[in-house]
Chain A
Amino acid sequence: MQTAALTAWDLCCRRGDRWLFHGLDLKLEQGEALHLTGPNGAGKTSLMRMLAGLLRPSPSLQPRDAAKAGTIAWEGTIALADERPALDPALPLGKALDFWRGIDGARDLPLERLGLDNLLDVPVRYLSTGQKKRAALARLIGQHAQNWLLDEPLNGLDVAGVALIEELVAQHCAQGGSAIVTSHQPIRLPGEKRLDIADYAL
Chain B
Amino acid sequence: MTRALLAILRRDLARLLRGAHGGALGSGIALPILFFLAVAIIFPFAVGPDPRLLARVGGGVIWVAALLAAVLPLDRLVEPDIEMGFFDQWALRGIAEEGVIAMRVIAHWLSFAPALMLATLPAGALLGLDGAQLGMVELGLLAGTPGLAALGVMVAAITAGLKGGAALAGLLVIPLAVPILIFGAGALASGGASGVALCGAVSLVLVALAPFAGAGAIRAGR
Residues of A within 8 A of B (CB): 49, 52-55, 77-80, 82, 84-91, 99-100, 102-105, 123, 139, 143
Return the contact of B15 from the options A86, A88, A104, A105 (Cβ within 8 A).
A88
- What's the dominant secondary structure at chain B's contact region? helix
- From A55, A88, A89, A104, name the one whose CB has the most chain B CB atoms within 10 angstroms: A88
Q: Which residue of A lies closest to B20 (CB)?
A: A90
Interface of A, secondary structure class, is loop
In the complex, whether B3 has a CB less than 8 A from a CB of chain A is yes
B92, A52: Cβ atoms under 8 Å? yes
Asked whether B11 is an interface residue with its Cβ less than 8 Å from the other chain, the reply is yes
Q: Which residues of A contact B4 (CB under 8 A)?
A: 102-103
The interface size bin for chain B is 20 to 34
Which residues from chain B contact A77 at a C-beta distance below 8 Å? 93
- Residues of chain B having any CB pair with chain A under 8 Å: 3-4, 7-8, 11, 15, 18, 20-22, 83-86, 88-89, 91-93, 95, 222
B3 neighbours in A (Cβ, 8 Å): 102-103, 105
Task: Identify B89's interface contact among A53, A55, A86, A90, CB under 8 A.
Answer: A86
Considering only CB atoms, which chain B residue lies closest to A100 in the complex?
B89
Beta-carbon contact of B21 and A55 below 8 Å: no
Q: Are A91 and B22 CB-contacts (below 8 A) given A52-B88, A80-B92, A84-B85?
A: yes
Contact A78 B92 (CB under 8 A): yes
A24 smallest CB distance to B (angstroms): 20
For this complex, 10 residue pairs linking A to B, each with C-beta atoms less than 8 Å apart, are A80-B88, A80-B92, A84-B83, A84-B88, A86-B85, A86-B88, A88-B11, A88-B84, A89-B84, A104-B93
